[in-house]
Amino acid sequence: MSTRSEQARAVLRANDRGGYCVPTARLYPFQWNWDSAFVAMGWATFDEARGWREIESLLIGQWEDGLVPQIVFHAPSDDYFPGPEVWGISRTPPTSGITQPPVLATAAARLWQGAKDRATSEERAAAVYPRLLASHHWWANARDPQGTGLVATLHPWETGMDNSPAWDAAMARVPTDTVTMIRRRDTSHVDPAMRPRAEDYQRFIHLVDAFRSVAWQPARMLQISPFKVADIGTNAILLRAERDLLRLAGRFGSPRDRAEIAERITRMEAAIGRLWDPALGLFRCFDLIGGAAIPVGISAGFLPLFAGAASTEQVHVLAATLDRWTALVPWLVPSTDPGHASFEPLRYWRGPVWAVVNWMIATGFADAGNTTIATRIRDDTRRLISTGGLSEYFDPTNGKGVGGADFSWTAAISLLLQDAGVKA
């Protein structure tokens, strides 16, 4: 086994808190939703049972209406803000009241299909399938009750891309006053120049206060939220997850399940198609309150490739867009168009490269038949990891590792990129 694999396995083991991984020690001391989906796939490259356990642990936090929360607070920690007391949700274990991009069904389908231990994987996939189905029902009912084919996101934390410039204009509508006293912990663990600004946090917490005041009822949240966007990342990831859920439904579901999922897929394909921006050469997000497209190029704009939602012509244009970005920064894929005025190479989702996004974009290009670009992105990701370590994210101008160190999802991607047995 290579030293790199050893290191990646060691990070997962060190971040294991007993059936779930924290993203990294101190900065993120609980279980996070989309982190765990990638982490499950990483574990499965050398310990399939532990991969399933990661998914099952996250589902311990699932709500009765199907919501899979963004954070499950399995054990107390004073290292993170906002902790369970701010969310005010009395469950055991406590959870946050919002969600994150739904990678989980994709992870479960991958574990099931790639399993060496067939019997165990059949049993565990059969057990999680109804929970995944419930979670996709939640997305449809809570976030697209009119059946438009696009789900709404109500908090930048739900996109996972917290301070992306794509949210700047929509977030300007969110007031900065808060009921909750803000006691940030992140900036004592990581250089504040790599984190969201103070004003971003005021708005993030204003939204949490607002949702708590309506007791986290989905319909009320949708009604009162001053931030409501159709995030291209979340919608593309959900479409991919629906396709993967359909594969699971082929084995574990009913004809009715399959018909429902297929119907949602058809609606989403059409709606995502309408988010294509020929001028940007990219898919874009849509501001559901302002009623206008968001003309900011972000790496999530490539994710319809991962969802199998780009036409042959669009695949060519997306490749050309990436070429243009490559002329501006040496490392792919910056989270924001490096030619955009808001690009900041160090600040979290305003510029840095994220290994998980690279993996999804590379998978998308490979699925669409462009193996040259897929290989380029995978090679860049491997080289970033070998020079910048298993960091949270990377500076696209010089390849340095930034943010938190020893990051679980970067370790998982490192393993996926080295796993000879399974298609990267």
Task: List contacts with ligand DGY (CB under 6 A).
Answer: 70, 157, 162, 186
Q: Which of 48, 162, 200, 231 is catalytic?
A: 162
Contacts of 284 (CB under 8 A, 6+ apart): 166, 232, 275, 276, 277, 293, 294, 295, 296, 297, 301
Q: Which amino acid is at 183?
A: R
Q: Is 337 helix (H, G, I), strand (E, B) or coil?
A: coil
CA distance 117 to 250: 20
- Residue 135: phi, psi to the nearest 5? -70, -35
CA distance 325 to 336: 9
CA distance 9 to 37: 16
Q: What's the chain's length in residues?
A: 424
**In angstroms, what is the minimal distance from the CB of 202 to ligand DGY?**
14
CA distance 246 to 133: 10
Q: Which of 244, 257, 380, 392 is catalytic?
A: 392
Type and span of the H or E element at 272: helix 255-273
**In angstroms, what is the minimal distance from the CB of 39 to ligand DGY?**
15
Closest residue by beta carbon to ligand DGY: 157
Q: Is 120 helix (H, G, I), strand (E, B) or coil?
A: helix
Active site residue 191: no
11 neighbors 406 (Cβ within 8 angstroms): yes
Active site residue 392: yes
Indicate the burial class of 156 (C-beta count within 10 angstroms; 0-12, 13-18, 19 or more): buried
| Residue found under tokens 């020929």 | 278
**In angstroms, what is the minimal distance from the CB of 35 to ligand DGY?**
9
Q: Return the number of the residue (233 or 253) whose C-beta is nearest ligand DGY.
A: 233
Question: What's the token pair of residue 290?
Answer: 């302002």
**In angstroms, what is the minimal distance from the CB of 356 to ligand DGY?**
13
408 neighbors 28 (Cβ within 8 angstroms): no
Q: Return the number of the residue (162 or 242) whose C-beta is nearest ligand DGY.
A: 162
**In angstroms, what is the minimal distance from the CB of 112 to ligand DGY?**
27
CA distance 132 to 52: 13
Q: Which amino acid is at 154?
A: L
Write out the catalytic residue numbers.
162, 392
